[in-house]
Amino acid sequence: MVEQADRSIFGKHERRDGKPGYMVVTPTTMRYVEADGSDVRVERVRVYNQHWGLERVYLRDTMGVRFVDLPDVAEDLGYLAE
């Protein structure tokens, strides 16, 4: 049985760099299951400035490692409804 992931990491959050603006974190279809049953999702992070302008987009794993955004990796908003 796959353990349910913490969904509070998804959604709108303050920027981590302390600059004005916000970031939006969404789950993607890229995932794997750890040996302990943890459901690990790769997240897409969109960072916006104080004028709601998009500054950058990247993928991030649960350890916080950033990767280049891959447009062919679809978002999985249905994951939040499960």
Cα dihedral 8, 12, 15, 20 sign? negative
Look at residue 29 in the predicted model and tell me its pLDDT: 92
Ordered by start, the domain boundaries in the chain are: 7-81
Condensed to tens digits (0 to 9), the pLDDT of residues 30-60 reads 988 888 888 788 999 999 999 999 999 999 9
Look at residue 2 in the predicted model and tell me its pLDDT: 45
pTM of the shown model: 0.82
pLDDT tops 70 at residue 82: no
| Cβ contact 10:43 at 8 Å | yes
Average pLDDT taken over every residue of the chain: 88
What are the CA-CA distances from residue 80 to residues 10, 65, 68 (Å)?
A: 8, 22, 23
Q: What is the mean pLDDT of residues 61-77?
A: 90
